[in-house]
């Protein structure tokens, strides 16, 4: 292949194609396709990776035996533990605490703070992190947080929008908790000093989100999760709550009778294990984006490998909605260095439209995420109206210059500094040229089943955030995930604190739940080399890996 | 959907579509294959030379070379600040800074990662603090040592005007301190390079929290909503809607009105 000529960051042929987007902008200022009817939605959803044939199978062991899950998830559930009781000494604990929180994103950090506020001493709480405190999807959330706090809005309206987005599969009591506590979460963030975008008159700036019937989305420029998280982490650190990093949990401990009593931790750098005993354990380990389900790139952070699902399931907790995966409609499709990175939905709520190779707008820009993503796949692979990149990826344009047409000059730099910075590193000016997008693996819709206090089907175990299932049903709406982390981080932290203060006693430490699980695995003929959790994805070069020898 | 298109979708092997998407994404998902690479560069990871594909970032190039990251990696997309990296290009005097996940490799790059910054982070209760410049000096007295050398600004991988926001802090201009530091990802490179040993990113964190809490009051519409919730205004509506069956909900959803733009 001859060396490509680049103009404004794009290969010349792509640059020529994008002129059609400029040419049609005037027309698209007033014309936007209508939102789909529910019938039309059902048709296009056939192209969604969840509904297209292949890629899934029934889970063959455990509490959800018979349920459908993506193959990489089923593989991890049907896998042997990393260590057994004969290999490690669990007779005494290295850490003795009241509450252990596993996972230091927004949910886990909020849980620890609220347990502390409820009276559990800071040194009786331990936050366990696989990577650094804050290496989580939370800080990558760009668009915003939903809360029905405008006069025109109501809690039941937020409920209905979320229920519809989830195709009416959300767990009602848990969803109710989400919408009821949302305004309080905004209040808490404001009290902590988070810089939430405000209008001149002092009201919050509130934007549309895909599938919302009113403007309900609060944001902090396009660094919403970063701002929310760093403020909450600063509060956590001020409270001097216990915290260890680069020490993932690789197995839960139980009393052998269904109560979770602690965990086995693993030092990622030295390989040493430690035993924690805790009266209450809150699992906030996030999702599974780094499993690259159906071969998709992902918006997720390095550690999103479904560890929490594996740990909870092996201990006997029930999961739900394991069959659905959220693909964000607009991941970057060009340049290759940033493929799969999140281009926030807020771009579309601010006026950016998906546009095909002819320069035509082909879908209402703010459908629920699964519908919008399917429409983009249809445009690229059924209608053949996509744009192909030099590495063979297809995508459609997202007409970002339209944002300035609608909101005035200078708006992008002000409202989307992160996005603008990312593209400018590759010589692309999103103020003047569109960017190329394609769906990217974004979110684990389902997870560990929970009640409105974050309790699971196991005593002593709570869950919060993406690892949990039910609140979003089979498709989460934008702005409900950061909200979920803080609502259920707080609720689970408070509920666990209450449990501890109510006189809960420390149960004995065993790995007995492993024994029965391993027996089931053997009966199901699971290959012995399959082990989980995997902790980190594998990205090392194949040539280098092929020559590695294990010395130490 | 037009009916001809509908039959096209039916005829289309949807699994093949998925396979084509996966095939096109392979380089991103499971790494680049040496046989497909046309352009190579040489980088020096802590002094040792490696040949790597030219269109990788420092992060993916180090992985290509065989490094399994435990430290020095986090979100991989420029938000978390875990992969702070210093590098110098062959024949140049200038020491440059970047995030490994956001910086393309260049031929002759000598690099080292700085995955951790030992930094002081005092405890405070934001509700008890004065919204006053003295609060910054109380917790970070070394702020007064700033010699305006601008080394912090040069080290910032987000291209923030770090020295300017530090100076704004010294003057008690919380608005400028907060706005100019807002895009900070707290990677620590400014603090590592600062000859006055200021921890700029923690100072800014305190400044932003003070600004966020005290600069303008909580919006009235939020305060009102919290009161309404306390008074139980939505209880009945929520009791009703949570008890509805799927059909009734579907009907309500289809009929709901969208707020006028």
- Is it true that the peptide bond before A335 is cis, omega within 30 degrees of 0? yes
Q: Which residue, among A187, A291, A295, would best test binding to B if mutated, counting the most B CBs under 10 Å from its CB?
A: A295
What is the C-alpha to C-alpha distance for residues B147 and B197, in angstroms, rounded to an integer?
11
Quote the pLDDT of residue B193. 95
CB proximity A29 to B under 8 Å: no
Tens of pLDDT along A89-146?
999 999 999 999 999 999 999 999 999 999 999 999 999 999 999 999 999 998 899 9
CA atoms within 13 Å, Cβ hemisphere of A311: 35
Token pair recorded at residue A198: 């405000």
Average pLDDT over residues A502-509: 97
Quote the pLDDT of residue A409. 97
What is the C-alpha to C-alpha distance for residues A168 and B223, in angstroms, rounded to an integer?
31
What sign for the dihedral angle of Cα A132, A136, A139, A145?
A: negative
What is the C-alpha to C-alpha distance for residues B117 and B196, in angstroms, rounded to an integer?
15
Q: Which of A99-113, B4-18, B183-197 has the lowest mean pLDDT?
A: B4-18
What is the C-alpha to C-alpha distance for residues A418 and A395, in angstroms, rounded to an integer?
22
Q: How far away is chain A from the Cα of B13, in angstroms, using its nearest Cα?
A: 9
Using CA atoms in the order B241, A188, A131, B86, what is the torsion angle rounded to 10 degrees? Answer: 130
Token pair recorded at residue B184: 């900070």
Quote the pLDDT of residue B195. 97
Residue that is written with structure tokens 């080399």 in the block = A529
Evaluate whether A154 touches B234 at the Cβ level (below 8 Å): yes
Q: Spell out which residues of chain B touch residue A235, defining contact as CB-CB under 8 Å.
A: 126
Could you give the ipTM of this predicted complex?
0.96
- A311, pLDDT greater than 80: yes
Evaluate whether B217 touches B134 at the Cβ level (below 8 Å): no
Token pair recorded at residue A296: 């998709």
Q: Spell out which residues of chain B touch residue A40, defining contact as CB-CB under 8 Å.
A: 1
pLDDT band (50, 70, 90) for residue B10: low
Average pLDDT over residues A456-471: 98
Residue that is written with structure tokens 């509450």 in the block = A99
Of the CATH numbers 3.40.50.300, 3.10.20.740, 3.40.50.10070, 3.40.47.10, which one belongs to the domain with range B36-113?
A: 3.10.20.740
Phi, psi of B6 (to 5 degrees): -60, -45
Tens of pLDDT along A379-419?
999 999 999 999 899 999 999 999 999 999 999 999 999 99
- A297, pLDDT greater than 50: yes
Quote the pLDDT of residue A3. 63
- A1, pLDDT greater than 50: no
Average pLDDT over residues B132-145: 97
Closest among A383, A290, A363, A381 to B15, alpha carbons compared: A381
Chain B nearest-CA residue for A424: B102
Looking at domain B126-214, its CATH class is: mainly alpha
Evaluate whether A268 touches A302 at the Cβ level (below 8 Å): no
Q: How far away is chain A from the Cα of B147, in angstroms, using its nearest Cα?
A: 27
Fold that domain A95-191+231-324+445-501 belongs to in CATH: FAD/NAD(P)-binding domain (3.50.50)
- A2, pLDDT greater than 60: no
What is the C-alpha to C-alpha distance for residues A178 and A155, in angstroms, rounded to an integer?
9
- B3, pLDDT greater than 60: no
pTM above 0.90, yes or no: yes
Cβ count within 10 A of residue B66: 17
Quote the pLDDT of residue B1. 45
The 8-class DSSP code of residue A533 comes to -
Tens of pLDDT along B45-101?
999 999 999 999 999 999 999 999 999 999 999 999 999 999 999 999 999 999 999
Cβ <8 Å between A541 and B241: no
Residue that is written with structure tokens 């190579």 in the block = B40
Quote the pLDDT of residue B33. 87
CB proximity A231 to B under 8 Å: yes
CB proximity A57 to B under 8 Å: no
Q: What percent of chain B has pLDDT over 70?
A: 96
What is the C-alpha to C-alpha distance for residues A141 and A87, in angstroms, rounded to an integer?
40
Closest among A303, A289, A317 to A249, alpha carbons compared: A303
* Mean pLDDT (chain B, rounded): 94
Nearest to B258 among A135, A213, A246 (CB): A213
Chain A nearest-CA residue for B123: A238
- B173, pLDDT greater than 90: yes
Tens of pLDDT along B195-247?
999 999 999 999 999 999 999 999 999 999 999 999 999 999 999 999 999 99
Quote the pLDDT of residue A4. 75
Nearest to A193 among B8, B69, B212 (CB): B212
Inter-residue long-range contacts of B116-123, CB under 8 Å, 24+ positions, other chains counted: B116/B71, B116/B188, B117/B84, B117/B187, B117/B188, B117/B189, B117/B191, B117/B192, B119/B188, B119/B191, B119/B199, B119/B201, B119/B202, B120/B199, B120/B202, B121/A234, B121/A237, B121/B199, B121/B202, B122/A238, B123/A237, B123/A238, B123/A239, B123/A240
Tens of pLDDT along B90-128?
999 999 999 999 999 999 999 999 999 999 899 999 999
Per domain, the residue ranges of chain B are 36-113, 126-214, 220-255
User: Where do the CATH 3.90.700.10 domains begin and end in chain A?
Assistant: 6-51+327-441
Average pLDDT over residues A169-184: 98
User: Where do the CATH 3.50.50.60 domains begin and end in chain A?
Assistant: 95-191+231-324+445-501
- In the residue annotation, A328 being an active-site residue is answered as yes
Evaluate whether A189 touches A345 at the Cβ level (below 8 Å): no
Task: Work out whether strand B84-89 and strand B48-53 pair parallel, antiparallel, or are unpaired.
Answer: unpaired
Residues 6+ apart with CB under 8 A from A51: A45
Closest among A343, A340, A363 to A353, alpha carbons compared: A363
Nearest to B234 among A154, A215, A240 (CB): A154
Closest among A169, A189, A192, A170 to A179, alpha carbons compared: A170
Quote the pLDDT of residue B4. 61
What is the C-alpha to C-alpha distance for residues B83 and A212, in angstroms, rounded to an integer?
36
pLDDT band (50, 70, 90) for residue B11: low
What is the C-alpha to C-alpha distance for residues A140 and B101, in angstroms, rounded to an integer?
14
What sign for the dihedral angle of Cα A91, A93, A96, A101?
A: negative
* Mean pLDDT (chain A, rounded): 96
Closest among B169, B148, B72 to B112, alpha carbons compared: B72
Chain A nearest-CA residue for B207: A193
- A435, pLDDT greater than 50: yes
Token pair recorded at residue B148: 């305006």
- Is it true that the peptide bond before A503 is cis, omega within 30 degrees of 0? no
- In the residue annotation, A348 being an active-site residue is answered as yes
CB proximity A192 to B under 8 Å: yes
Nearest to A204 among B24, B31, B222 (CB): B222
CB proximity A140 to B under 8 Å: yes
Asked if the A6-51+327-441 domain carries CATH number 3.50.50.60, the reply is no
Average pLDDT over residues A221-243: 97
Residue that is written with structure tokens 């519809």 in the block = A164
Cβ <8 Å between A157 and B26: no
**Could you tell me what percentage of chain B is helix, strand and coil, using 3-state DSSP and rounding each to the nearest 5?**
45, 10, 40
What is the C-alpha to C-alpha distance for residues A513 and A41, in angstroms, rounded to an integer?
43
What is the C-alpha to C-alpha distance for residues B193 and A21, in angstroms, rounded to an integer?
45
Quote the pLDDT of residue A552. 83
Closest among A192, A332, A280 to B102, alpha carbons compared: A332
């Amino acid at each position: 292949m001859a060396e490509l000529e680049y103009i404004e960051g794009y290969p010349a042929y792509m640059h020529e194609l994008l002129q059609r987007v400029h040419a049609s902008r005037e027309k698209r200022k007033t014309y936007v396709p209508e939102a789909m009817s529910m019938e039309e939605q059902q048709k296009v959803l056939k192209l969604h990776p969840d509904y297209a044939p292949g890629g899934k199978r029934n889970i063959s062991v455990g509490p959800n035996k018979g349920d459908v899950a993506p193959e990489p998830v089923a593989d991890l559930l049907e896998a042997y533990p990393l260590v057994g009781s004969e290999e490690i000494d669990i007779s005494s604990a290295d850490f003795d605490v009241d509450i252990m929180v596993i996972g230091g994103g927004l949910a886990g950090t909020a849980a620890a703070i609220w347990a502390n506020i409820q009276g559990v001493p800071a040194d009786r709480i331990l936050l366990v992190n696989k990577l650094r405190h804050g290496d989580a999807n939370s800080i990558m959330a760009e668009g915003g947080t939903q809360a029905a706090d405008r006069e025109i809005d109501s809690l039941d309206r937020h409920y209905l929008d979320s229920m519809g987005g989830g195709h009416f599969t959300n767990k009602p009591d848990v969803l109710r908790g989400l919408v009821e506590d949302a305004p309080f979460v905004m209040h808490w963030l404001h009290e902590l000093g988070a810089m939430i975008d405000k209008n001149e008159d002092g009201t919050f700036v509130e934007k549309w989100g895909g599938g919302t019937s009113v403007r309900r989305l609060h944001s902090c420029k396009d660094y919403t999760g970063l701002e929310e998280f760093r403020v909450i982490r600063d509060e956590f650190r001020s409270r001097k709550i216990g915290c260890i990093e680069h020490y993932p949990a690789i197995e839960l401990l139980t009393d052998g009778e269904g109560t979770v009593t602690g965990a086995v931790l693993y030092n990622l750098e030295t390989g040493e294990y430690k035993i924690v005993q805790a009266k209450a354990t809150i699992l906030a380990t996030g999702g599974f984006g780094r499993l690259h389900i159906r071969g998709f790139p992902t918006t997720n952070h390095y550690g999103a490998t479904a560890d929490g699902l594996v740990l909870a399931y092996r201990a006997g907790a029930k999961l739900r909605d394991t069959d659905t995966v959220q693909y964000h409609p607009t991941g970057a499709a060009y340049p290759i260095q940033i493929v799969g990175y999140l281009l926030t939905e807020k771009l579309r709520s601010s006026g950016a439209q998906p546009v095909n190779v002819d320069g035509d707008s082909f879908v209402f820009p703010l459908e629920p995420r699964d519908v919008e993503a399917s429409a983009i796949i249809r445009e690229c692979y059924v209608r053949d109206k996509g744009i192909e990149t030099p590495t063979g990826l297809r995508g459609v344009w997202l007409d970002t210059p339209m944002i300035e047409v609608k909101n005035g000059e200078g708006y992008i730099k002000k409202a989307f500094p992160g996005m603008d910075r990312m593209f400018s590193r590759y010589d692309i000016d999103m103020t003047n040229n569109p960017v190329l997008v394609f769906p990217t693996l974004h979110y684990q819709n389902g997870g560990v089943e929970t009640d409105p206090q974050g309790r699971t089907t196991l005593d002593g175990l709570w869950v919060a955030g993406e690892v949990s299932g039910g609140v979003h049903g089979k498709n989460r709406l934008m702005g409900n995930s950061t909200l979920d982390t803080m609502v259920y981080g707080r609720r689970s932290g408070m509920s666990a604190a209450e449990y501890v203060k109510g006189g809960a006693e420390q149960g004995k430490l065993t790995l007995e739940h492993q024994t029965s699980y391993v027996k089931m695995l053997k009966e199901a003929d699971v290959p012995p080399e399959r082990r989980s959790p995997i902790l980190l994805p594998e990205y090392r070069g194949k040539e280098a890996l092929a020559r590695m020898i294990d010395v130490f | 959907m037009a009916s001809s298109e509908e039959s096209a979708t039916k005829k289309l092997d949807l699994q093949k579509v998925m396979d084509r998407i996966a095939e096109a994404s392979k380089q991103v998902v499971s790494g680049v294959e040496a046989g497909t690479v046309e352009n190579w560069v040489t980088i020096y990871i802590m002094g040792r030379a490696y040949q790597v594909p030219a269109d990788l970032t420092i992060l993916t190039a180090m992985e290509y070379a065989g490094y399994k990251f435990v430290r020095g990696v986090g979100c991989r997309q420029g938000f978390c600040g875990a992969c702070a990296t210093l590098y110098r290009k062959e024949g140049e005097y200038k020491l440059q800074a970047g995030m490994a996940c956001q910086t393309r490799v260049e031929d002759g790059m000598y690099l080292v990662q700085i995955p951790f910054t030992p930094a002081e982070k005092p405890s405070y209760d934001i509700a008890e603090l004065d919204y006053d410049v003295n609060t910054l000096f109380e917790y970070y007295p070394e702020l007064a040592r700033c010699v305006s050398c601008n080394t912090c600004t040069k080290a910032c991988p987000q291209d923030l005007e770090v020295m300017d926001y530090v100076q704004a802090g010294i003057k008690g201009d919380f608005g400028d301190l907060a706005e100019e530091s807002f895009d900070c990802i707290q990677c620590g490179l400014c603090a590592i390079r600062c000859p006055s040993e200021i921890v700029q990113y923690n100072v800014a964190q305190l400044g932003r929290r003070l600004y966020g809490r005290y600069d303008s009051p909580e919006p009235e519409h939020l305060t009102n909503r919290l009161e309404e919730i306390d008074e139980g205004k939505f209880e009945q509506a929520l009791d009703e809607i949570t008890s509805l069956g799927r059909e009734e909900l579907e009907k309500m959803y289809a009929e709901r009105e969208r707020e006028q733009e």
